[in-house]
Amino acid sequence: MNGFAAGPVRVSVPATSANLGPGFDALGLALGLRDRLEAEVTDGGLEVRVEGIGRDDVPRDASHLVVRSMRAAFDRLDARPAGLRLTCHNVIPHARGLGSSSAAIVAGVWLARELVAGGRLLLDDDALLDLAAQIEGHPDNVAPALLGGFTIAGRDDVDGTFFAVPGSVDPRIGAVVFVPPDGVSTEAARGLLPDLVPHADAAANAGRAALLVAALAGRPDQLLRATADRLHQSYRRAAMPASLDLVEELRSQGTPAIISGAGPTVLAFTAAADGDGAERLGTHCPDAWTVLELPIDTRGAAGW
Residues at the binding site are 93-103
Task: Determine contact, residues 234/26, Cβ cutoff 8 Å.
Answer: no
Look up residue 158 and give its amino acid: V
Dist. CA 157–CA 233, nearest whole Å: 26
Asked whether the beta carbons of 178 and 170 are under 8 A apart, the reply is: no
Kindly report whether the peptide bond that precedes residue 139 is cis, defined as omega within 30 degrees of 0.
Answer: no
Distances (CA, A) of 276 to 67, 280, 293: 39, 6, 8
Alpha carbon distances (Å) from 243 to 112, 177, 259, 301: 37, 11, 7, 29
Please list, in sequence order, all residues whose beta carbon lies within 8 angstroms of the beta carbon of residue 138, skipping any fewer than 6 positions away.
25
Tell me the three-class secondary structure of 99-160, residue by residue: CHHHHHHHHHHHHHHHHECCHHHHCCHHHHHHHHHHHHCCCCCHHHHHHCCEEEEEECCCCC
**Residue 258: phi, psi to the nearest 5?**
-145, 165
Kind and range of the H or E element at 259?
strand 257-259
- DSSP assignment letter at 222: G
- Could you tell me which residues are annotated as the binding site for ATP? 93-103
Contacts of 227 (CB under 8 A, 6+ apart): 20, 21, 22, 208, 212, 256, 257, 258, 269
